[in-house]
């Protein structure tokens, strides 16, 4: 059997794709990549369909041994990857030889890296997805984060590793410690006072250590409401911003619950979700409002870029 042997799992390394779409009404969490754009770009660089399951690597990278010649790409955060002790670039398709060791030197920027492998993993799907949902202990590799000694089987590469020449994506994002995040109005926007709304759009909020794949808890000036914080439980989208009784916003992320009962002041637009998922404790966020129409146009522009990538227009 060919695949990847886990020599060291790192801090939190899981198998993720684009999630379990269409099952929230049944109470199933979507899960999937925290940074869907980076995951899709990594897959494109190795010739995979955009939704192919890959490894999501958080803060401290793993040490992995390859038992097959293949092609990989690492996108998202720069965790200073090395193959057989030599630094290798991110946002680039790379041929890897059988027996090679991939490891990471430490975080340079961002928070989460994505490792795509040509052909993808040979793993069973749950509800149409290979994503790992940690709290539910399902999907991915045995429903958990990778551990030392695990062996992940991979399929034959789509791209021939012997004849493959490295290809690059040069328009890669910059992950700064302070970010401006665009949002649309939330369903309970009118429940907040004018002063509370002004605070939300003018203040800086710090990412706290109480942040994970389920949600990012922020701290900063209190957001004032006209009425209470509770609502009848309603659906929660990726990037939904709840404001509970303490007035501190919570951004719901990939492993969010399917419904929630706190007032929602806004929703992070799809193209800015990576700004949240690539943030670490201590990073600062500022929010600015855009219209639904602007958010839709920005999403279409992003899709055009991904389609162009798939067609090799942006490679050199």
178-303, what's its fold? Cyclophilin (2.40.100)
Please tell me the predicted confidence (pLDDT) of residue 210.
96
* Res. 313 pLDDT band, cuts 50 70 90: very low
* pLDDT (mean) for 67-89: 97
Instruction: Give the model confidence (pLDDT) of 216-243 as tens digits.
Output: 999 999 999 998 888 888 899 999 999 9
- Token reading at 102: 């991939």
Q: Are 56 and 11 in contact (CB under 8 A)?
A: no
CB-count burial class (<10 Å; 0-12, 13-18, 19+) for 287: buried
Cβ(178)–Cβ(283) below 8 Å: yes
Rounded distance, CA 160 to CA 166, Å? 12
In the chain, the percentage of residues whose pLDDT exceeds 70 is: 98
- What is the spatial distance between Cα 262 and Cα 249, in angstroms, rounded to a whole number? 10
Residue 278, C-beta contacts closer than 8 angstroms, at least 6 positions apart:
35, 76, 77, 110, 111, 112, 173, 175
Q: Which of 247, 81, 90, 111 lies closest to 176, judged by CA?
A: 111
Position 308 scores a pLDDT of 86
What is the widest separation between alpha-carbon atoms in the chain? 64
**Separation between Cα atoms, residue 243 and residue 75, nearest integer Å:** 32
In angstroms, the CA 40 to CA 108 distance is 22
| pLDDT band with cut points at 50, 70 and 90 for residue 312 | low
- 299: three-class secondary structure by DSSP: helix
316 pLDDT band (50/70/90 cuts)?
very low
pTM assigned to the model: 0.95
Query: Where exactly does CATH 2.40.100.10 map onto the chain?
Result: 178-303
Identify the pLDDT of residue 158: 87
Please check the confidence at residue 12 and state whether its pLDDT lies above 60: yes
pLDDT value of residue 161: 86
* Burial track 210-222 (b if 16+ CB lie within 10 A, e otherwise): ebbbbbbbbebee
Return the closest-CA partner of residue 121 out of 132, 135, 111, 105: 132
> Does residue 311 have a pLDDT over 80?
no
- Dihedral sign from CA coordinates of 101, 105, 108, 114: positive
Who's near 261: CB < 8 A, 6+ residues apart?
230, 231, 232, 233, 234
Supply 288's token pair: 């600015």
The angle at the Cα of 258, spanning 128 to 212, to the nearest 5 degrees, equals: 90
pLDDT confidence tier of residue 144, bands split at 50, 70 and 90: very high
> What's the CA gap between 123 and 139, in Å, rounded?
9
d(CA 76, CA 79): 9
Question: Residue 185 class from Cβ within 10 Å (0-12 exposed, 13-18 middle, 19+ buried)?
Answer: middle
């Amino acid at each position: 059997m060919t695949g990847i042997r886990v020599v060291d799992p790192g801090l939190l390394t899981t198998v993720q794709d684009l999630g379990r779409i269409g099952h929230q009404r049944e109470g199933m969490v979507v899960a999937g990549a925290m940074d869907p754009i980076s995951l899709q770009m990594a897959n494109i660089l190795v010739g995979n369909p955009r939704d192919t399951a890959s490894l999501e690597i958080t803060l401290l990278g793993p040490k992995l041994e390859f038992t097959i010649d293949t092609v990989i790409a690492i996108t998202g955060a720069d965790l200073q990857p090395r193959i057989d002790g030599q630094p290798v670039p991110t946002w680039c398709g790379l041929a890897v030889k059988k027996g090679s060791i991939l490891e990471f030197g430490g975080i340079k920027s961002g928070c989460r890296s994505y490792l795509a492998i040509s052909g993808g993993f040979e793993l069973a799907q749950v509800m149409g997805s290979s994503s790992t949902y940690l709290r539910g202990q399902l999907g991915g590799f045995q429903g958990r984060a990778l551990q030392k000694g695990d062996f992940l089987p991979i399929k034959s590469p789509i791209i021939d590793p012997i004849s493959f020449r490295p290809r690059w994506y040069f328009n890669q994002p910059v992950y700064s410690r302070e970010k401006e995040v665009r949002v649309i109005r939330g369903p309970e926007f009118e429940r907040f006072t004018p002063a509370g709304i002004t605070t939300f759009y003018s203040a800086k909020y710090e990412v706290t250590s109480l942040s994970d794949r389920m949600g990012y808890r922020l701290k900063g000036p209190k957001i004032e409401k006209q009425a209470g914080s509770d609502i009848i439980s309603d659906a929660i989208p990726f990037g939904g911003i709840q404001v509970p009784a303490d007035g501190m916003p919570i951004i719901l992320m990939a492993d969010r619950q399917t419904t929630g009962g706190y007032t929602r002041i806004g929703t992070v637009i799809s193209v800015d979700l990576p700004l949240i998922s690539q943030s670490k404790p201590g990073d600062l966020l500022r929010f600015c409002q855009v219209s639904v129409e602007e958010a839709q146009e920005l999403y279409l522009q992003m899709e055009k870029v991904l389609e162009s990538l798939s067609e090799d227009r942006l490679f050199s």
